[in-house]
Structure 1
Amino acid sequence: LEFALAKIGAILVTVNTSLRAPEVEYLLRQSDTSTLVTIRGFRGVDYIATLDEIGATRGALPALRRIVFVGDRVPAGLMAYEDVRAAACRVGDAALEAHAERIGLDDVINMQYTSGTTGFPKGVMLSSRNIVNNGCSLGDALAFTPADRLCLCVPLFHCFGCVIGVLGAFTHGARLCPIESFDPVRVLETIHRERCTAVYGVPTMFLAELESADFARYDLTSLRTGIMAGALCPEPLMRRVMTDMHLPEIAIAYGMTESSPGITATPRDASIERRTQTVGVALSDQQIKVVDPVTGAARAAGERGEICVRGYNVMRGYYNNPDATRAAIDAGGWLHTGDEAAIDADGYVRITGRIKDLIIRGGENISPKEIEDCLRDHPSVADAYVYGVADAFFGEAVAAAVRLKPDITADVDDLIAWCETRIARFKVPRDVRFVTAFPMTASGKVQKYKLREEHEQELQKIRAS
């Protein structure tokens, strides 16, 4: 569908396969979807029941004209996918080519909904120029050739899958070895069986693969490269990925849906430090800069500010949301990412936090990343995320959610004492809660606003008791 729809100029709106009824209804209504293609269900989610619940099968969504069903036993009122294929045979090549000629490189062909790390999703409109060039650019960064085989275990409904994965391989003639849904054992089996040369994922995926009980059984020596994105990779994990998984050329990539998605990537020969402390350099044919988030004035090398990007990869805008589009893309064509970063003299970008993530405690601006790095250095901590919670005196207080390593124990006082000897006192978390998992978007980004909400609810219960 990705290629067929692009050829006729239809817009592919990708849908997270885990969405529930209210979320599906919001997306279908907001995007004005006219045709929906579905299977019966996936991983415990009944899609037909979901569509019935929101009235999609009964005409409750005015823009929705048809629902195409892929599979046997087509539900009443839905169109069989085989009927669509049969209808395609009645369209001649000349008519198809004439239609395709009217499609421009900058016409919107893909709409992705933002990950929602900060709230309600927005429909990001992307063109052929946006996504084909971006996929190609990242394939270039990995030196892909027709000899490469990519184990693709990230979701195809996100840019990581359908752009970096599918189009990055397609533009270089590389073979795709897709996995329907992430499972560390299936990833290892696929790499072993297909002799894959590349694998993609977020840091937690690579960690799950390395921690698989039968990891040593699999021959991964065919691997050479891949992309890790969604979050910075801790140095110990990067070392294990490069050595134990035989990925000496693994790249860290940074971007966002609004930038198609790639903005930067680490070179194939980057040092361990640069692969773990930076997100690399700007991809070809893009401009990046760091500005003061309030005044917009350019910041000097090494100074923190908001990172902005300009080039072919900047989205066409947010669907039916001109105000949000104007807030994201300025008059000069610069996309404001909302990420706090610094660019060093060699062009390497160091992400230091989210502009909106900044904690303002008693007038002090605190970047969560510094505190997260401090907590992750603790021998008992597997991962940690820091955010602000409401405080009557300071306005905000520093809080943290911590996941401990398997079979390891630690207490809150121990972690606070650890931080007190390593960072300024005003940065030390006042509140720490232990979690077994972090709420994540489909692209592997931690939803800090959910952590904040959960933490504040717990604090309210404590105060009320």
Structure 2
Amino acid sequence: MESYAKGEPVPALLEETIGANLARTVAAYADREALVECASGRRWTWAELDADVEAVARGLVGAGVQKGDRVGIWGPNSAEWTLVQLATARIGAVLVNVNPAYRTHELAYVVNQSGMRLLVSATSFKTSDYRGMVEETAAGNHALERVVYLDDEESWSGLLADGEGVGADDLAARAKELAPDDPINIQYTSGTTGFPKGATLSHRNILNNGYLVGEVCGYTEADRVCIPVPFYHCFGMVMGNLACTTHGATMVIPAPGFDPALTLKAVSEERCTSLYGVPTMFIAEWALPDFESYDLSSVRTGIMAGSPCPEEMMKKLIAAGIDEMTICYGMTETSPVSTQTRRDDSLERKVGTVGRVCPHLEVRIVDPVSGDTVPRGEAGEFCTRGYSVMLGYWDDDEKTREAVDADGWMHTGDLGVMDDDGYVRITGRIKDMVIRGGENIYPREIEEFLYTHPDIEDVQVIGVPDPKYGEELCAWLRMRPGAEPLDADAVRAFATGRLAHYKVPRYVMVVEEFPMTVTGKVRKVEMREVSAERLGLA
């Protein structure tokens, strides 16, 4: 049987704009709680949220923002971030998500590459002086006409004041100009090499992905979703915010940036029913010294994504009563989710696979060289097709054609294997695969094995240059608190007889942390460079 699967055709896709869908939710659940910002204690019902979204939408129109104009948002998670997300969609502006970790070089690139006219920014957060960076790059930001600071009362009020002359008729007229397939969002991929590419997404792309991911989680208006993942990424703004807006569920923002204690405090105090995170977030939460003091009994489901879930972590979630946790897999270019485990899937499927194809999508595994669909059980490149595939990379037709083929298949660059039931395992990136003396080695397999060592908190495995074999394996280890650091001999002793000899890492480095992108992806390219340098292999 071929490695091809097609998602079920139900529930029906939402063929409407984000603004039209929000209006239906507001009408149905006006007095229910829509949004909670824990840091400030502010709360909104759906009717109150709608009024504030409308005020921002009027302000943007009054500021001269036209349909299709690019409006940037730069800063950590906040209620204002959500307001700007929904307001730009309502008036047909294209929201450009700017990574909160960017510095001047990257900011200038994104502002100019997208042709951004207006930027809504925080003034500062942690080590980021956003206002300073905006001012430093101002001379070279050619299209940027205005910057509004969402945490500066005078600046934010000034934007709202711009909308005083904009009437309901003006917003209604703008809404009539909009269509579900219009571009509504540009998200710059957190690529670990080269300049980021601007994945351009429509109402139809992200509204439906948020809706259908929420359907798999079983969301209703009674759910309260804790969203500690960044809004600037699809995980926060689509799987978080839009999953909630399409179901009338409550969005709970535990903190501006990830904090394990504040996340569990929000879950406990707000009685959240769903919790999101990448595996490193869940590991940090469950490792808190006072973990037992948090009441997580309200949580039934959630989403873990970004990298594979270690089996031990999933067992801890189940032990805490969170037995409907789902695993999602996808990428920015596909809005993002392509596969998801189901709430009642077995432990083995939740830790060993990224689920099966989502509704209204197709997935297949292809030979990276020939492009042919491989038989079930064989590894190849994961490809997906359907409503979720991006419109393209902003102003970059060449890169778009490299990623999306003529038949509409998005080529992910990920290696996957599909089993007889259609469940997919992601075995690594095509470029992360290590070839040692002609043997193809998938780092994920070795990481999962080393994770069973009682003293290892977390592990990443990479390939480093080797004159004899072409590549050798190097393991980066984070030790559990109080554990003695392991060396290569200790790892070899642990692995001997349990892993094939060529899969045993030759080099071991004990580190405090891994180099990460802001979305929680490990930067293996950087790890390879650092390892080669430290080991004298460069």
Equivalent residue number for residue 114 of structure 2:
31
The 8 Å contact of residues 118 and 447 in structure 1, kept in 2 or not, is answered as: no
Bigger Cα displacement from structure 2, 40-49 vs 261-270: 40-49
The 8 Å contact of residues 158 and 442 in structure 1, kept in 2 or not, is answered as: no
Amino acid at match of 1:433: M
Equivalent residue number for residue 315 of structure 1:
390
- How far 1:393 moved relative to its partner? 2.9
Cα distance per residue 1:299-319 (max 9 Å; x no partner) = 111111111000000011111
Cα distance per residue 1:45-97 (max 9 Å; x no partner) = 1111112222x1xx3211111111234476xxxxx222221121211222222
- How far 1:119 moved relative to its partner? 4.1
Structure 2: distance between partners of 1:119 and 1:400: 25
Structure 2: distance between partners of 1:117 and 1:170: 32
For residue 99 of structure 1, the aligned residue among 174, 180, 183 is: 174
Equivalent residue number for residue 97 of structure 2:
14
For residue 200 of structure 2, the aligned residue among 108, 121, 125 is: 125
Q: Does 1:439 pair with 2:498?
A: no
Partner of 2:116: helix, strand, or coil?
coil
Amino acid at match of 2:462: Y
- How far 1:453 moved relative to its partner? 1.1
Q: Which ranges in structure 1 are unaligned for 5 or more consecutive residues?
A: 75-79
Q: Does 1:208 pair with 2:267?
A: no
Partner of 1:231: helix, strand, or coil?
coil
For residue 158 of structure 1, the aligned residue among 223, 229, 233 is: 233
- How far 1:194 moved relative to its partner? 1.0
Equivalent residue number for residue 361 of structure 2:
286
Amino acid at match of 1:261: P
Partner of 1:450: helix, strand, or coil?
helix
Cα distance per residue 1:341-369 (max 9 Å; x no partner) = 11111111111111111112233222111
Cα distance per residue 1:287-308 (max 9 Å; x no partner) = 0000001110001111111110
Change (3 A) 1:444 1:72: closer
Q: Does 1:269 pair with 2:349?
A: no
Structure 2: distance between partners of 1:412 and 1:221: 42
User: Size of the alignment, in residue pairs?
Assistant: 453
Q: Does 1:196 pair with 2:276?
A: no
Equivalent residue number for residue 394 of structure 1:
469
Equivalent residue number for residue 6 of structure 2:
none
Change (3 A) 1:379 1:214: closer
For residue 481 of structure 2, the aligned residue among 397, 406, 411 is: 406
* 1:238-277 mapped onto 2 (5 Å cutoff): 238-244=314-320, 246-277=321-352
Structure 2: distance between partners of 1:53 and 1:236: 47
Cα distance per residue 1:214-255 (max 9 Å; x no partner) = 2111211111110011111111110111222x2110111111
The 8 Å contact of residues 403 and 437 in structure 1, kept in 2 or not, is answered as: yes
The 8 Å contact of residues 116 and 447 in structure 1, kept in 2 or not, is answered as: no
Amino acid at match of 2:220: T
Q: Equivalent pairs: percent with the same residue?
A: 48
Q: Does 1:65 pair with 2:154?
A: no
Equivalent residue number for residue 13 of structure 2:
none
Q: Does 1:222 pair with 2:302?
A: no
- How far 1:260 moved relative to its partner? 0.3
Change (3 A) 1:226 1:73: closer
The answer to which structure, 1 or 2, has the higher relative contact order (CA under 8 A, 6+ apart) is 2
The 8 Å contact of residues 118 and 448 in structure 1, kept in 2 or not, is answered as: no
Structure 2: distance between partners of 1:417 and 1:449: 28
Structure 2: distance between partners of 1:71 and 1:304: 49
Partner of 2:509: helix, strand, or coil?
strand
Structure 2: distance between partners of 1:242 and 1:442: 27
Structure 2: distance between partners of 1:428 and 1:213: 33
Q: Does 1:45 pair with 2:125?
A: no
Equivalent residue number for residue 63 of structure 2:
none
The Cα RMSD (Å) is 1.5
The 8 Å contact of residues 488 and 506 in structure 2, kept in 1 or not, is answered as: no
Cα distance per residue 1:24-65 (max 9 Å; x no partner) = 2222222221111112101131111112222x1xx3211111
Structure 1: distance between partners of 2:370 and 2:494: 37
- How far 1:200 moved relative to its partner? 0.4
Q: Which ranges in structure 2 are unaligned for 5 or more consecutive residues?
A: 1-83
Change (3 A) 1:360 1:238: same
Partner of 2:162: helix, strand, or coil?
helix
For residue 361 of structure 1, the aligned residue among 436, 440, 448 is: 436
Structure 1: distance between partners of 2:153 and 2:332: 36
Amino acid at match of 2:134: L
Deviating 4+ runs (over 6 angstroms): none
Structure 1: distance between partners of 2:319 and 2:534: 41
Structure 1: distance between partners of 2:447 and 2:153: 51
- How far 1:457 moved relative to its partner? 1.6
Structure 1: distance between partners of 2:469 and 2:345: 42
Equivalent residue number for residue 350 of structure 1:
425
* 1:413-432 mapped onto 2 (5 Å cutoff): 413-432=489-508
Structure 2: distance between partners of 1:330 and 1:109: 23
Cα distance per residue 1:153-200 (max 9 Å; x no partner) = 111111000000000011000011112221111111111111111110
Partner of 1:42: helix, strand, or coil?
coil
Structure 1: distance between partners of 2:249 and 2:463: 44
- How far 1:403 moved relative to its partner? 1.3
Structure 1: distance between partners of 2:355 and 2:507: 33
Equivalent residue number for residue 77 of structure 1:
none
The 8 Å contact of residues 393 and 400 in structure 2, kept in 1 or not, is answered as: yes
Structure 2: distance between partners of 1:165 and 1:21: 28
Amino acid at match of 2:148: V
Equivalent residue number for residue 86 of structure 1:
161
Bigger Cα displacement from structure 2, 266-275 vs 2-11: 2-11
Partner of 2:161: helix, strand, or coil?
helix
Structure 1: distance between partners of 2:330 and 2:465: 30
Structure 1: distance between partners of 2:518 and 2:277: 11
* 1:142-157 mapped onto 2 (5 Å cutoff): 142-157=217-232
Structure 2: distance between partners of 1:284 and 1:123: 26
Amino acid at match of 1:149: R
- How far 1:23 moved relative to its partner? 1.9
